[in-house]
Amino acid sequence: MARLEESRISGPGAGKVMYIPPMEPWGARFFAAAFRHIGYDARALSEDASSLALGLKHTGGGECVPCPSTTGALLAAMERDGVDPARTIFFMPTACGPCRFGQYSRLDRLIFEKKGWDKIQIMSPSAENAYEGLDNNARILLYHALVLSDIMRKFVHRIRPYELEDGATDRTVEEHTRLLEEALARGDKAKAAELVESTAQALAALPKHPGRRPLIGVVGEIYVRCDPFLNHDLCRRIEELGGEAWLAPISEWIFYTNHLRHLLVREQSRGPAAILERLRIWLETRLFFDRVERLYYRRAAPVLEDRHEHPIDQVMREGMNYLPWQFEGEALLTLGRASLFVKRDGAKAIVNASPMFCMPGTITASIFPRLEKELGVPVICNFYDGSGEPNQSLVPVMHYVAS
Ligand code: SF4
């Protein structure tokens, strides 16, 4: 049977409903808004206990939890909205390598076929080519959406621990999030930059408790560390226990895939074509990815002046103290960013958040005891599968670092 995969957005998506996985609260909403700008009826999926149960019912039980959670969120939305599968697109990026992420879209396809929904399209841009399957304008707007989600999340984590009035930070950020969704749906990047600035000003003006709390660096598997549903609201829990969280950003993965391509070309290819390709990657990183980030961080300065990320080659270099870069995937980034959190950002503890049975998560959990000794701060390796209360492990450590 011919499989319907749409990896290239080549025209307007009129009449098609696109569902975006709920990996991160702002990211899913901003991605949906960006896809609306290019003509899709794009909707951010949401997760809860019943959608996860639905996903678990349709998967085998051995998959890492982002798989049943995204699948369940889609199945629940399809049943709720009554959308014709022939008009439906599921946005599910993929990646190469041994990690299971590359298999999610394939398993989803089998589940859809079993349900008789074989006409659903899966839009599956790949990390292998740094997501180049997407139309250029779409890539540009989606990257803006991604950086904006990193910024809004950082705003919350930087201000909320100090707010005098409960809920003031979340309310202020939510008001501006709605305006940002409207701006992205119009493709209005200038307005988005203005809104970042006005959010920063509004947050800077909120009454706050004086002093600073101990900084806790949060690293790990990208889906679970960013998803408050699956990680049981980890960053809020850190705040409740007296800390301030700094979560490794999603943009890290984009910089990583680009830099990895650069390294692979350098190692595997010779001649003028390879030199040109490396130059092209370098220019794209400097003139586009870096520039967009700098633009928004400049506007966010009243709040995020001390929350800039380190260049990806530095993160990787730190990680290479423990793993070679040829060991592709998230483990290197988790270790490298954790090390920089402590050495350069002054973090007093690290939380390494991963799904149960996660391959990079299991590897990093086995290496972190060495970092713990070298860096002299506690590292909590938490594994999540949607059940129990894994964040209880934070209580004794936070008692020690926050007292
Ligand atoms: S990184 Fe971990 S959780 Fe994500 S797909 Fe790979 S094994 Fe699964």
Domain identity same for 62 and 30 = yes
Q: At 348, phi and psi to the nearest 5?
A: -95, -10
pLDDT of residue 9: 47
Which of 226, 239, 215 minimizes the C-alpha distance to 342?
215
Query: Does residue 217 carry a pLDDT above 60?
Result: yes
Which of 215, 199, 203, 289 minimizes the C-alpha distance to 251?
289
Distance in Å, CA 321 to ligand 1 centroid? 22
Contact 39, 187 (CB under 8 A): no
Q: Judge if the beta carbon of residue 359 lies within 6 A of ligand 1.
A: yes
The residue from 170, 204, 238 where one domain ends is: 204
Distance in Å, CA 69 to ligand 1 centroid? 13
- Tally of structural domains, the chain: 3
- Using pLDDT thresholds of 50, 70 and 90, give the confidence band for residue 241: very high
Over residues 82-110, mean pLDDT:
82
Specify if 328 maps to a domain: yes
Distance in Å, CA 360 to ligand 1 centroid? 7
The tokens for 146 are 């991604």
Question: Cα–Cα distance between 394 and 156 in angstroms, integer?
Answer: 20
- Using pLDDT thresholds of 50, 70 and 90, give the confidence band for residue 122: confident
Which of 101, 204, 94, 188 minimizes the C-alpha distance to 145?
188
Q: What's the domain range around 329?
A: 215-249+309-402
Domain identity same for 80 and 143 = no
Question: Cα–Cα distance between 238 and 216 in angstroms, integer?
Answer: 8
Over residues 164-169, mean pLDDT:
98
Question: Cα–Cα distance between 357 and 318 in angstroms, integer?
Answer: 25
Question: Cα–Cα distance between 246 and 132 in angstroms, integer?
Answer: 29
Domain identity same for 163 and 98 = no
Tell me the pTM.
0.92
What is the side-by-side strand order in the sheet with 41-44?
Answer: 41-44, 17-20, 88-91, 121-123
Domain identity same for 229 and 353 = yes
Taken in order 344, 318, 265, 222, the sign of the CA dihedral is negative
The residue from 115, 132, 149 where one domain ends is: 132
pLDDT tens for each residue of 318-369: 999 999 999 888 999 999 999 999 999 999 999 999 999 899 999 999 999 9
Over residues 159-185, mean pLDDT:
98
Contact 288, 220 (CB under 8 A): no
Query: Does residue 385 carry a pLDDT above 70?
Result: yes
CATH of the domain at 29: 3.40.50
